[in-house]
Amino acid sequence: MRALVAGGAGFIGSHLCEFLLDRGIEVLCLDNLVTGSRANVRHLLGRDGFKFLKRDIARLKTIPGSSDVVFNLASPASPRDYLALPLQTLETGATGTRNLLELCRRQRSVFVMASTSEVYGDPTKHPQREDYWGNVNPVGFRSVYDEAKRYAEALTMAYHRTHGLPTRIARIFNTYGPRMKVDDGRVVPNLISQSLAGQPLTIYGSGRQTRSFCYVSDMVEALFRLAGCPDPMPVNLGNPEEFSVLRIARIVRRLTGSKNPFEFRPLPEDDPRRRRPDIARARRLLKWKPRVRLEQGLERTIDWFRAGPA
């Protein structure tokens, strides 16, 4: 088997490349390195069956060889990145996704679209199920990412319905682990990097807003299983254990041995108040559930941050 992983030098993408190689699957990794890093896949460059190409999927024309499955994880994903790259984020979600779908249509490849829990916006239903249509601000600052992913989902379903293309849609909830960028701006890397640097830990709003964090090894296993599932409708992938941001900050502070104070700042615009996936579909269709508990995953992530990127 051969897999193409777009965004393969990013955080989740690099772990997926490694996961596939470990199972004897050849991997073509595409990344324009705007938010990804060659360092994330440096340890894979000498492995049999792995090839890296610096490509922008929004300008993709041809790709050498063919692939049995295409994973689309290419997009700025952290608020800090997509707010700095609004037009590129929209173009990647629209033109980039279309280019990959056309590639799959020509090759009759399975297409796996990495969508996001952001399609639910600031949800009014809790926990979030796949049949919930969301509460999204289409013109807010975060809309460049939210709407890019919502459009990509619609485009994916249109290719499935029009061309009979075998497609999958993964709605990925908050994921964390080694290879997250230190300056990512998201909750876990923020808290860990500040704690290790002896800085105050930034808490936005009251800290009572909740998140459900899935360790990256669980996430890539779910993406792999989803590729083999014939159901084209969206599937939530994440950990249903829900924690307040303040509780997570306290856990990080304890695990790092930090005494740093909390520093409270205003909540960003349209920041979701609660976020927790209903993963009943993933359990039923994929026979999957997360196995890594939060403290265990945070310990591994802290160790990686302490050691620094390879």
Task: Out of 145, 159, 176, 215, pick the active-site residue.
Answer: 145
* Contact between 31 and 6 (Cβ < 8 Å): yes
Bridge partners of 29, per DSSP, are 5, 52
**Residue-wise burial string across 101-119, b where 16 or more C-beta atoms lie within 10 A, e elsewhere:** bebbeebebbbbbbbbbbb
In sequence order, which residues have a C-beta less than 8 Å from that of residue 123 and are 6 or more positions away? 132, 134, 135, 272, 274, 275
Active-site annotation holds for 176: no
* Contact between 132 and 120 (Cβ < 8 Å): yes
C-alpha distances (whole Å) from 225 to each of 16, 56, 115, 231 are 12, 26, 16, 12
- Rounded to whole angstroms, the Cα distance separating 219 from 45 reads 23
Pairing of strands 50-54, 175-176: unpaired
DSSP symbol at 85 = S
Indicate which residues carry an active-site annotation. Answer: 145
